[in-house]
Amino acid sequence: MNSIEQSELETLFKFGANVTIVDVRKKPALEKKPAMIQGAVWQDFQNVPAWADSVKSSTTVVCYCVHGHEVSQSAVANLRKAGINAYYLRSGMQQ
């Protein structure tokens, strides 16, 4: 699968990889727990085509949701269809 563990993400940061973190949690989950991974931006997982063009092709995108299941996996599938190197964060924000 196109997934990444928290430790792998930390390694990418440690070595200065060009990574964009995208919080794709549903609005109610975001409102309930607004804390985000440092440097992340929120985007609507249901409207990936509207924001996919704003992602630089030279970056790796890591999407996360609450659990690391359907929401982030859906966003990643759509990003990959657009030719973007994307992964979802396993276990999501539960970590």
**Domain with 20 in it: what CATH number?**
3.40.250.10
Residue numbers of the domain that contains 80: 3-94
Count structural domains, the chain.
1
Torsion on CA atoms 48, 51, 56, 62, rounded to nearest 10: -50
For 27, list phi and psi in degrees, rounded to 5.
Answer: -50, -45
For the segment 45-61, what is each residue's pLDDT rounded down to a tens digit?
Answer: 999 999 999 988 789 99
DSSP letter for 76, please: H
Report angle CA 23, 24, 28 to the nearest 5 degrees: 105
Q: Is 22 helix (H, G, I), strand (E, B) or coil?
A: strand
CA atoms within 13 A on the CB side of 52: 17
| Confidence grade of residue 94 (pLDDT, cut at 50, 70, 90) | confident
The whole-number pLDDT of residue 37 equals 92
Note the pTM of the prediction, 2 decimals.
Answer: 0.93
User: Could you tell me which of 83, 29, 27, 38 has the C-alpha nearest to residue 58?
Assistant: 83
